[in-house]
Structure 1
Amino acid sequence: MLTLHQSPKLRLHRRAGWGIALAAAVLAVPVLSTPALAAAPGDPATSSSFNLKPGPDLSSAVTALKTALPTEGVQDLLDQGNRIAKTDASCTTDPFGTGDNGAVLAPARKLCWDAGDAGTEEWIPQGITGVSDAQADELWGSRKPLVTAWYDKANPALCTADSGTCPDKGVRLSFLDPETPVTGTPDGRRYRHALLVEPYFNSYGNASYRAIDIHAGGIAWYKYYLYVADTLNGLRVFDMRSILDLNPDQNASVDDTTLNGLKSNVTDESKIGRQSNIYYSHTYRYVLPQVASYKFVAAQGNSSAATCVATGAPKASYISIDRSAPTAPTLIMGEYCNSDTDHPEKGRVGALPIDDTTGLLQETGGTVTTTSAYYLPRDLTQGAARYNGMYYFNRSYLDNSGSLRRATITNGRLVDYGSNITNAVGPEDLYIEHGQSMPGATQYLWSLTEHRADTTAGCTDTGSPCGRVLYAHRLSDILARP
């Protein structure tokens, strides 16, 4: 079972017995493993290993659910934000500290979750994306939302007879507007959770849905579609036009009447989906059903261990969108690997084309054909983004200070660019706010941290502090580093 300060990438990939001290050293000064490899870190990888094919058609179940439950849009969720994040100076959580080498890169922007989300043991934040991925003008209506993903740790040790934390609720999203102050609270920003669900027809032929038990280590939003990494399988796809509202009257104490004359209940934490003609949601007002999926064509070469293999389908550990011109829109996918001398693989990163007309991945003959793939220069990679030919990688292990690495394609290989940049403890997925829509706009590299602040050994107030924040570095600050 995952302990508090194990990287949640290790929820599926933890290899027992690897020392924290060794990990800290690897993060500070990584050394290539001595065993001979078929391909060295940074070499081109077999692109076809990343190829995908569409999964089962879920449209009929989603259509049936939308005739039963009303739909809302992203702006509605932002308007109905029932939690408040604090921003910048009012966000006092600081997971950056001094770093392992005293040269930490402080963020240009930072937001703190409310107390419940900052301290929950049940939910672990992982993925991040935003409207700059989704829209060329970087606006959803008049808003600039960020979206993050959390997975349910579902630890039996957290359960009591009536706590309601025992059911594995799967994955939830947080929709947050970092730009619009809360009325009367200038340092506050509203946000709202929504639960991801998988639709299906139950044994009575009625449309229902269930929780999605995946890690959600990376998410990426393009046009209406939200892509979610499904580690050993590929990608799950959700449509922002299909957000279902189980409590439109905003009175949770009374079950609402649904569009098909049944009821919806947002007070019973133990139930999900349609049961006895009532729709449940583990108490979440909003649920977002999956509309599609993409499966790896190649056989999966990896198991649930943290270590990776060099061939076969990769793990979909994290994803992002490359919108840099003149590059066609591209989904970047990479894998987390906890390597050692017995398992020297660092992981791979690939690029998948997006059809800009539909917002879905571009298929040729029923296959999404990868445009490029490389072995990663470094292991322990928790997030990747690419912009104007520069790759950015977040690396972290347990409660050590993380590191931000850069790399470029040089002489046909993906090689390190510049030196290590020390950043927050527990950094995860990456998202680029590209600023292309407005001349002179600041470009940001966004991420988020996973560890809640507490007194667990290894987390300190200075060198390696823990705490959950959303944060952004200016791209110009990163590129100015040697």
Structure 2
Amino acid sequence: MKQRGRHRRRRRGQALRATLAGTALALTAAATLISTSQATGSNSPGGLTALRSSSAAQQLRLHENLTSRDTLDTLSGNMGGNVGVDGVLDDTDHAMRNTADCTAGERGALPVEPTATRAYCWDDADARTGQWRPRSVTTSGDADGSGRWGTRPVILAGWTHRDGQAAAPTRDEGLARIAFVDATDPDALTYRWVLLVAPRSGGEDFTAVHSGLGGMAWYQDKLIVTAAHGEGLLVFDLHRLLRADVDSGAVGRVGDGYSAAGYRYVLPAIGSYDPEGGACTRGRDRAVPCFGSLSLDRTTAPDSLVATEAAGGRSERTRVWRYAFSTAAYRTGLLADAQGHVDAVEAYSTKGTGVSGVLSHRAAGAHETRWYTVRPSDSRARHGSLWRQTGHGAEAATCTADQSHACWGLGTGSLSYWQRTGELWTLTDTTAQRVLYAVPLSSVDGSLE
């Protein structure tokens, strides 16, 4: 609460800094001249090739497994009832820094072309921790056509525990947490961490969820994220956010209460979507793909969940595909087919490798859907590229400084399109250069035309 008070007292100064920040972003772009062209050569991921065989369809098929309502209700009852998204946002305890308050290194992670119109940096501790990495983003613009959850615009950012030190407890590796960001005041974003968990013992207990969080999508009242090692998907109900009442390093039931490794709030999984073909594999024998990134497409009928497989070898093609969401009133936010089977309704392969983000979007009046894929550079010190692909080819902005396509953000993760504002949201994951930012999708397209 003290942080929020200080933030309010600083708003007048921040308004000026926000203006200066916009100028700074524009100057950053002006410092590097840009030309755009049809991308050619070995760096291009090429056009999309449709996958229509029955074997390809089988490899992408999922099976739905939902936790019983009794189990979920038992856990909610034991923990004092659901607090919902508003309950978490009413209790934010971290403040994001506006662009002017970001370091020069953080601003250096932003795209060169097109330039970001909004950018925020995490508080100092989260910006510099080596134990956690930001991986994915989704927003209330995905959840609802109004762009709000209730009365507030909200951003969710998924982080995963990646310590990599021998002394670190192995039980912590792969822990997943989400920053619930209140974006009501665009000059004063605040957030609270929520730990992802899974019910156990009929709802009497819970355990930590382990996930790389390479992708997530918030649709209606459900949040879908990639499971551990990309083996399927996990589903969460945003109505079922719960508050832990024991402050300790344990995860689960402690005596008569519940602890969440020091976090105040938890979000329990309500189910999963598992590959029917068995465990996913990487490398040359990857018949069943591991999930990499996720996003939502509201331009299909019905709305759909878009996915790409996790990065494989640099010489292998990458698959991108989509699943339709159910239109049944009693299956809000779930994928189609109440019988438990979920089939991809569209699938392609691309020469693009190492894809960290994917988005599909069909503009009004357009003849075909455009697929946008993010490809980080081989070097973590070099910007990545954002490609727009169709069945006819691929395009990316070309930076005249070195005639490369490395014009996108540095180490960027998944993509999320906020339809009401026309903004494409993403985040960077390099330590001390972590930025949450937005670029108008029209600017992305404009840089290619």
**Normalized against structure 2, the TM-score is what?**
0.79
Q: Secondary structure at the match of 2:436?
A: strand
- 1:283 and 2:262 equivalent? yes
The structure-2 alpha-carbon separation of the partners of 1:445 and 1:404, relative to structure 1 and needing over 3 Å to count, comes to: same
| 1:158 and 1:166 in contact (8 A); partners too | no
Matching residue's letter, 2:191: Y
- 1:481 and 2:437 equivalent? no
2: CA distance, partners of 1:194 / 1:30: 42
Write the mapping of 1:53-452 to structure 2, written as runs, cut at 5 A: 53-55=63-65, 57-69=67-79, 70-92=81-103, 94-95=105-106, 97=108, 104-157=113-166, 159=168, 167-168=172-173, 170-180=175-185, 187-201=187-201, 207-230=204-227, 231-246=229-244, 264-266=245-247, 268-269=248-249, 271-300=250-279, 302-303=281-282, 307=283, 309=285, 312-324=287-299, 327-340=301-314, 344-356=315-327, 357=329, 358-363=332-337, 365-388=339-362, 389-396=369-376, 397-399=378-380, 400-410=382-392, 415-419=393-397, 420=405, 422-435=407-420, 442-452=421-431
| 2:277 and 2:288 in contact (8 A); partners too | yes
2: CA distance, partners of 1:171 / 1:55: 20
Query: Could you tell me the percent identity over the aligned residues?
Result: 27
Matching residue's letter, 1:327: A
| 1:233 and 1:315 in contact (8 A); partners too | yes
Q: Relative to total residues, which structure has the larger helix share, 1 or 2?
A: 2
Q: How many residues align?
A: 386
Q: Secondary structure at the match of 1:110?
A: strand
Deviation, 1:41, is 7.0
Deviations 1:15-38 (A, max 9, x none): xxxxxxxxxxxx9964489xxxxx
Matching residue's letter, 1:241: H
Deviations 1:215-271 (A, max 9, x none): 11101001110001124421100000110012xxxxxxxxxxxxxxxxx312x12x1
1: CA distance, partners of 2:265 / 2:159: 15
The structure-2 alpha-carbon separation of the partners of 1:364 and 1:354, relative to structure 1 and needing over 3 Å to count, comes to: same
Deviation, 1:43, is 1.8
1: CA distance, partners of 2:338 / 2:69: 21
Deviation, 1:136, is 1.3
Q: Secondary structure at the match of 2:391?
A: strand
Which residue pairs with 1:250 in the alignment?
none
Matching residue's letter, 1:191: Y
Deviations 1:3-56 (A, max 9, x none): xxxxxxxxxxxxxxxxxxxxxxxx9964489xxxxxx97322323321111125
2: CA distance, partners of 1:168 / 1:301: 20
Which residue pairs with 1:11 in the alignment?
none
2: CA distance, partners of 1:293 / 1:286: 21
Matching residue's letter, 2:235: V
5+ residue gaps, structure 2, are: 1-38, 363-368, 398-404
2: CA distance, partners of 1:96 / 1:104: 13
Q: Secondary structure at the match of 1:313?
A: coil
- 1:52 and 2:62 equivalent? yes
Matching residue's letter, 1:240: L
Deviation, 1:355, is 1.1
| 1:105 and 1:421 in contact (8 A); partners too | no
The structure-2 alpha-carbon separation of the partners of 1:316 and 1:166, relative to structure 1 and needing over 3 Å to count, comes to: closer
**Normalized against structure 1, the TM-score is what?**
0.74
1: CA distance, partners of 2:301 / 2:272: 24
| 1:393 and 1:405 in contact (8 A); partners too | yes
The structure-2 alpha-carbon separation of the partners of 1:56 and 1:78, relative to structure 1 and needing over 3 Å to count, comes to: closer
Deviation, 1:373, is 0.6
Deviation, 1:145, is 0.3
Deviations 1:319-359 (A, max 9, x none): 010012x532000011132433xxx2121111100013322
| 2:304 and 2:325 in contact (8 A); partners too | yes
Deviation, 1:85, is 0.1
Deviation, 1:288, is 0.5
Deviation, 1:312, is 2.3
| 2:161 and 2:172 in contact (8 A); partners too | no
Which residue pairs with 1:468 in the alignment?
434
| 1:149 and 1:174 in contact (8 A); partners too | yes
The structure-2 alpha-carbon separation of the partners of 1:391 and 1:398, relative to structure 1 and needing over 3 Å to count, comes to: same
1: CA distance, partners of 2:321 / 2:151: 33
The structure-2 alpha-carbon separation of the partners of 1:353 and 1:200, relative to structure 1 and needing over 3 Å to count, comes to: same
Deviation, 1:422, is 1.1
The structure-2 alpha-carbon separation of the partners of 1:141 and 1:56, relative to structure 1 and needing over 3 Å to count, comes to: closer
Write the mapping of 1:4-19 to structure 2, written as runs, cut at 5 A: none
| CA RMSD between the two structures | 2.6
Deviation, 1:168, is 4.1
Deviation, 1:398, is 4.3
| 1:176 and 1:190 in contact (8 A); partners too | yes
